[in-house]
Amino acid sequence: QGIRAWGVAVLCLATLISTEAAARTKPFKMALGDGGGSPQQVMGQKFVELLEQKTDGRHGTLMFLNGQLGDEQSTINDASMGLLDFTLVAINNVTPFSPSVGVLTLPYMMQSLEDAIALTQGEVGQQLVANTVRDANIRIIGWTYTGFRALTNAKRPIHELSDLKGLKMRVPANDIMIDTYRAWGINPTPMAWSETFTGLQLGVVDGQDNPYMTIYAMKFSEVQDYITNIRYLFSIEPLIVSEEVFQAQSDEVQQAILAAGQEATEFSARYLVEQEDKIRAELVSQGMEIIEPANEREWMDRAISQVWPKYYDRLGGKEQLNRILKTLGRDEI
Ligand code: MLT
């Protein structure tokens, strides 16, 4: 009798284990361009936890930081081909795959976190999501708010546009950003994000721009001395799922992915507000000097007058930009 009871118990346990194993699917993979402690990583981690909770532990996700799965633009390419499940990248690296997203990299378009939230979470954001699915077979399911990109360099304090002369500035391979530097009077060097730290360290480039939180997480104070607090681009980093992977999920898992993305987005906005000032102070304590530009109006006027008109067509026409400006409560162009 005892032996039979044991047998039944062992059988039940084995069934339980194999059901568990079947229920818990192979983990998703998520690529991130930035390292630990960056807003990308914090938002990605939140999403991973939420997705696991919402699927009762069935869907785990492995995160690969610091460009381990390739530079940001190649991970987007992999996701678009269904070779990678998720990638979390800066918006400027998405524009080459879906041009209308460029509206989020137009210099001085977003002037606050509120503007960034209004554009990403309202009608404009919904349209951009649909466009990226159409153009690149990728779906944006969440937004990381990383703050304004400030300009760093190793050579000298930059107060005015004329101080940029002679500096080798790294930019992402994003033509709106390249044209912005051209409007400011210099020819920047396009370079993948994964090569930027080494490029700065070896002096291939003298400077770059990125948000305070990214500058800190990527330890740029080791290779850069000066930060100029320009506010030309509010950095947004979308969390992307491969459309092929998304469509292969059940309705229930799709809903869990979308809900986790939305909650992680809201968390990211709170995290930025809580952390950004502390991070700026940390950078100063690491020896970086923060400079307020003498006349940012001039940087802004040049960028808007020389860059925007070149991209009207690609971004859906001047009327479309005026509609967007209206939603932000700003004057038409
Ligand atoms: C870039 O400059 O390419 C990006 O902002 C890097 C990032 O993802 O933080």
What would the pLDDT profile of 253-297 be if each residue is shown by its tens digit? 999 999 999 999 999 999 999 999 999 999 999 999 999 999 999
Cα 88 to ligand 1 centre (Å):
10
The band of 16, judged by pLDDT with boundaries at 50, 70 and 90, is: very low
pLDDT for residue 3:
45
Which is it for strands 226-228 and 138-153: parallel, antiparallel or unpaired? Answer: antiparallel
Cβ–ligand 1 distance for 119 under 6 Å, the answer: no
The band of 23, judged by pLDDT with boundaries at 50, 70 and 90, is: low
For residue 214, the ligand 1 atom closest to its alpha carbon is: 9
For residue 170, the ligand 1 atom closest to its alpha carbon is: 2
What's the count of helices (H) and strands (E) in the chain, helices before strands? Answer: 12, 10
Amino acid, res. 120: T
Assess whether pLDDT exceeds 50 at residue 88: yes
- Burial letters for 262-284: b for 16+ Cβ neighbours within 10 Å, e otherwise? bbbbebbbebbeebbeebbeebe
pLDDT for residue 167:
98
Q: Are 131 and 98 a contacting pair, CB within 8 Å?
A: yes
Assess whether pLDDT exceeds 80 at residue 333: yes
Q: Are 155 and 134 a contacting pair, CB within 8 Å?
A: no
pLDDT for residue 153:
98
Q: Are 332 and 267 a contacting pair, CB within 8 Å?
A: no
Cβ–ligand 1 distance for 67 under 6 Å, the answer: no
Length of the chain (residues): 333
- Residue keyed to tokens 């696991």: 52
Assess whether pLDDT exceeds 70 at residue 68: yes
Cβ–ligand 1 distance for 144 under 6 Å, the answer: no
Tell me how far CA of residue 21 lies from CA of 12, 25, 26, in angstroms. 14, 8, 9
The band of 7, judged by pLDDT with boundaries at 50, 70 and 90, is: very low
Closest CA to 218 of 72, 55, 321: 72
pLDDT for residue 325:
95
Amino acid, res. 18: S
The token pair that represents 20 in the structure block: 């568990």
- Burial letters for 4-32: b for 16+ Cβ neighbours within 10 Å, e otherwise? eeeeeeeeeeeeeeeeeeeeeeeebbbbb
d(CA 296, CA 166): 20
Closest CA to 118 of 100, 99, 98, 145: 145
For residue 171, the ligand 1 atom closest to its alpha carbon is: 2
pLDDT for residue 9:
43
Q: Please report, to the nearest 10 degrees, the dihedral formed by the alpha carbons of residues 236, 58, 74, 197 taken in order.
A: 60
Q: Please report, to the nearest 10 degrees, the dihedral formed by the alpha carbons of residues 211, 194, 197, 166 taken in order.
A: -80
Cβ–ligand 1 distance for 172 under 6 Å, the answer: yes
Least trusted range by pLDDT, from 11-20, 56-65, 213-222:
11-20
Amino acid, res. 25: T
Cα 250 to ligand 1 centre (Å):
33
d(CA 63, CA 49): 11
Cα 34 to ligand 1 centre (Å):
8
Closest CA to 46 of 148, 144, 146, 147: 144
Which pTM was predicted?
0.91
Assess whether pLDDT exceeds 50 at residue 19: no
Query: 177-197: per-residue pLDDT in tens?
Result: 999 999 999 999 999 999 999
d(CA 295, CA 297): 5
Amino acid, res. 200: L
Amino acid, res. 106: L
Mean pLDDT calculated for residue range 200-209: 98
- What is the best residue among 91, 148, 170, 214 to mutate for testing ligand 1's pocket, by most ligand atoms within 8 Å of CB? 214
**Average pLDDT score over the chain:** 93
Which is it for strands 189-190 and 170-171: parallel, antiparallel or unpaired? Answer: parallel
Assess whether pLDDT exceeds 80 at residue 15: no
Sign of CA dihedral 185, 191, 197, 203: negative
